[in-house]
Amino acid sequence: EAGVAQSPRYKIIEKRQSVAFWCNPISGHATLYWYQQILGQGPKLLIQFQNNGVVDDSQLPKDRFSAERLKGVDSTLKIQPAKLEDSAVYLCASSPSLNTEAFFGQGTRLTVV
Amino acid sequence: AQRVTQPEKLLSVFKGAPVELKCNYSYSGSPELFWYVQYSRQRLQLLLRHISRESIKGFTADLNKGETSFHLKKPFAQEEDSAMYYCALKAGGTSYGKLTFGQGTILTVHP
C-alpha cells in the first residue's frame, strides 16, 4: 500500500516568515498525527486528529502553529511567524484508529535562518 | 505525565556481539511500550511492541514493570542493524494513541 506522503521534503525560510507543510495519510486511516523532531531529540507530538476532529493539541504552540484536517483526509500544518527554534523535522503519521500501529512519512526538514 | 529515557546516545558493537539498548520509562498507568527504528535515509518504522511478545529481526524486548524498563536485546548483532532506535510509550485516557518517544540511540555495528 502507498505510504504517508509529505511535502515538501525540505524548506529553508527566514525567521518571521510563514511556512506550510502538507500530509496525505494512508487511505482509510482515521487518525493523523503531526510530530516535531528537533535535532538530537525524539519526535514530540504536536497535534493528533481523529477524522477531522482534534484529539490532542496540548503541545502545539498555538500562538504560531496551526493545523487542520479538512474532510478528514489530508492535513496541513502552518507556522506563522517562524522562529529559529522551529528548525526541525516535521513528521506526519497515520493509523487506522487510535489503538493501531502508526505509519510515518519521510518528514519535512525545516531550517529557519 | 509520561517520560521515556534512553541513557545512551551512541552504542557501538562488533558484528556477532550481543547488543542491548536501554529504555526506562515513567508512567503512572499501565503502559504500552514500543521500539521504533530508522535506518539511513528511511522513514521511522515500528520494530516491535511489548504486547505482541515477538522477536523481529532477532530483536526481543521484555517489559519489566518493577524496574520500569523495556530494554531491546539481540544476541548477535549484524551490520544491517546499524540505525537509530527509539523507545516509545503509548498512554491511555485522553491521550490515547499519543506516543512519547525517548531521545534515541544510534547503534553502529562494525564489521
DSSP string for A9-69: SEEEE-TT--EEEEEEPPTT--EEEEEEE-TTS--EEEEEEETTEEEE-TTS-TTTEEEE-
The contacts of residue B69 (CB under 8 Å, 6+ apart) are B22, B23, B24, B25, B63
Q: Taking CB atoms and an 8 Å cutoff, what residues of chain A touch B44?
A: 43, 91, 93, 104
Residue B95's pLDDT is 53
Burial class (CB in 10 A: 0-12, 13-18, 19+), A22: middle
Tens of pLDDT along B79-103?
999 999 999 998 765 556 789 999 9
Tens of pLDDT along A1-35?
579 999 999 999 999 999 999 999 999 999 999 99
- Distance from C-alpha of B97 to C-alpha of A98, rounded to nearest angstrom: 5
- Asked if B95 and A56 come within 8 Å (Cβ–Cβ), the reply is yes
Q: What is the mean pLDDT of chain B?
A: 91
Q: Taking CB atoms and an 8 Å cutoff, what residues of chain A touch B88?
A: 42
- Asked if B43 and A40 come within 8 Å (Cβ–Cβ), the reply is no
The three cell numbers locating residue A63: 500562538
One-character DSSP codes across B57-102? TTBEE--BTTTTB--EEESS--GGG-EEEEEEEE--GGGTT-EEE-
Residue B96's pLDDT is 65
Q: Taking CB atoms and an 8 Å cutoff, what residues of chain B touch A43?
A: 44, 86, 99, 101
Tens of pLDDT along A51-106?
989 989 999 999 999 999 988 899 999 999 999 999 999 999 999 987 788 999 99
For the cut 80, the answer to whether the pLDDT of residue B10 exceeds it is yes
Residue type, B13: V
For the cut 80, the answer to whether the pLDDT of residue B53 exceeds it is no
Of residues B88, B99, B103, nearest to A41 (C-beta): B103
Residue A90's pLDDT is 98
Which of A 17-76 lie inside 8 A of B, CB atoms? Answer: 31, 33, 40-45, 48, 55-56
Segment holding B31, helix H or strand E: none
Tens of pLDDT along B19-37?
999 999 998 888 889 999 9
- Asked if A44 and B101 come within 8 Å (Cβ–Cβ), the reply is yes
* Cα radius of gyration (chain B): 14
CB count within 10 Å of CB B39 equals: 13
Residue A1's pLDDT is 55
Size of interface A-B (CB pairs under 8 A): 53
Do strands B72-74 and A108-112 pair parallel, antiparallel, or not at all (unpaired)? unpaired
